[in-house]
């Protein structure tokens, strides 16, 4: 059995790594892709995970498979294709460590995932099924993703969703919103940023926006607020859990690390998530804040995911933001 099965993009993040002698930015090849990041966070903490997706039959693709294996992630659901290269993303960081992206994905191998590629027996062996909106930008991956979600739902898995808003990867905003909202209709747990909340609900107010999502049947809404922590809405109520103060180097993957921290803990609960008590839920979110915060202290996403020991240390010795 697996704690989390994740489906979606597995790609190369080229992250800034200093400057050349000529003063030009140097880029380091790092493994990434939001669903793979979440899964790595889970396994680095000690959970069990399996990945479903597609990469190119190229050096990048084989490198990524090795990375998953090195992080104790089952790769039986990882397929290779000669129809497209492994997707690449160049990460650009501002003075505060916040990032923007340039993608090479037209098409990318991850969008080539087909319905017949889906390992249904893997989904059956998982407690939580996680996916993101970026596997719904293009066919055939969109149909393959929906098939997997529906199978997971039929088999009573907890559905976790990240409506990842990356404008360059969508045809236009109308299509993006329609597909991202479709994903919401399946979800039990949703993790999103303030920008994503406003895009999907039209609300910048956290209370109103989260209520819109909660009223759709989502059981746990998590709005990540960067250095300010996380706002949550659940049957037990709403609340804000502050972040930990850390030395930020690169925010790439921080939200994925946060969600990995949440899913790692929820996978250990043997009753419905809507029955979580406030104190227990806030403890889980505090743990996730520590996991996300630690991820920002190193470059890259997958290489920066912390261990359980590192998270526990920060929980005891860390200082929270106001």
- 54-78 pLDDT tens trace: 999 999 999 999 999 999 999 999 9
Q: Model confidence at 97, in pLDDT bands (50, 70, 90)? A: low
pLDDT of 98 over the 80 cut: no
Angle between helices 278-295 and 308-317 (to 10 degrees): 110
* Whole-number Å distance between alpha carbons of 65 and 56: 11
Angle between helices 173-184 and 194-201 (to 10 degrees): 100
157-216 per-position pLDDT tens digit? 999 999 999 999 999 999 999 999 999 999 999 999 999 999 999 999 999 999 999 999
**Range with the poorest average pLDDT among 10-19, 62-71, 200-209, 302-311:** 10-19
Query: Percent of the chain, pLDDT > 70?
Result: 99
30-46 per-position pLDDT tens digit? 999 999 999 999 999 99
Secondary structure E strands in 120-269: 126-132, 158-162, 189-193, 220-224, 230-234, 237-241
Query: Percent of the chain, pLDDT > 90?
Result: 92
Q: What pLDDT does 300 receive?
A: 83
Residue 222's nearest CA partner among 180, 163, 300, 264 is 163
Tally: H helices and E strands in the chain: 10, 13
Using alpha carbons only, give the angle 42, 264, 159 rounded to the nearest 5 degrees: 100
Cβ proximity of 12 and 234 under 8 Å: no
């Amino acid at each position: 059995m697996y704690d989390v099965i994740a489906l979606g993009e597995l790609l190369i993040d080229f992250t800034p790594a200093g400057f050349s002698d000529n003063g030009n930015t140097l880029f380091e090849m790092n493994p990434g892709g939001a669903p793979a990041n979440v899964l790595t966070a889970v396994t680095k903490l000690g959970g069990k995970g399996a990945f479903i997706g597609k990469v190119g039959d190229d050096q990048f693709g084989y490198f990524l498979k090795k990375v998953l294996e090195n992080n104790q992630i089952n790769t039986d659901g990882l397929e290779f294709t000669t129809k497209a290269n492994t997707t690449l993303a160049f990460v650009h960081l501002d003075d505060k460590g916040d990032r923007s992206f340039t993608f090479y994905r037209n098409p990318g191998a991850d969008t080539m995932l087909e319905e017949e590629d889906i390992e249904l027996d893997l989904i059956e062996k998982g407690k939580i099924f996680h996916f993101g909106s970026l596997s719904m930008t293009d066919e055939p991956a969109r149909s393959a993703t929906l098939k997997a979600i529906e199978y997971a739902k039929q088999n009573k898995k907890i559905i976790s969703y990240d409506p990842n808003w990356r404008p360059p990867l969508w045809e236009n905003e109308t299509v993006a919103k329609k597909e991202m909202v479709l994903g919401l209709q399946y979800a039990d747990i949703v993790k999103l940023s303030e920008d994503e909340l406003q895009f999907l609900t039209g609300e910048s107010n956290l209370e109103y926006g989260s209520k819109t999502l909660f009223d759709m049947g989502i059981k746990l809404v998590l709005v990540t607020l960067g250095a300010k922590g996380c706002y949550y809405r659940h049957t037990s109520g709403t609340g804000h859990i502050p972040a930990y103060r850390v030395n930020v180097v690169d925010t790439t993957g921080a939200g994925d690390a946060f969600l990995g921290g949440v899913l790692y803990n929820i996978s250990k609960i043997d009753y419905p998530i809507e029955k979580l008590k406030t104190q227990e839920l806030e403890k889980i979110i505090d743990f996730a804040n520590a996991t996300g915060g630690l991820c920002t202290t190193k470059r890259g996403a997958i290489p920066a995911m912390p261990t359980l020991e590192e998270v526990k240390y920060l929980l005891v010795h860390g200082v929270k933001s106001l």
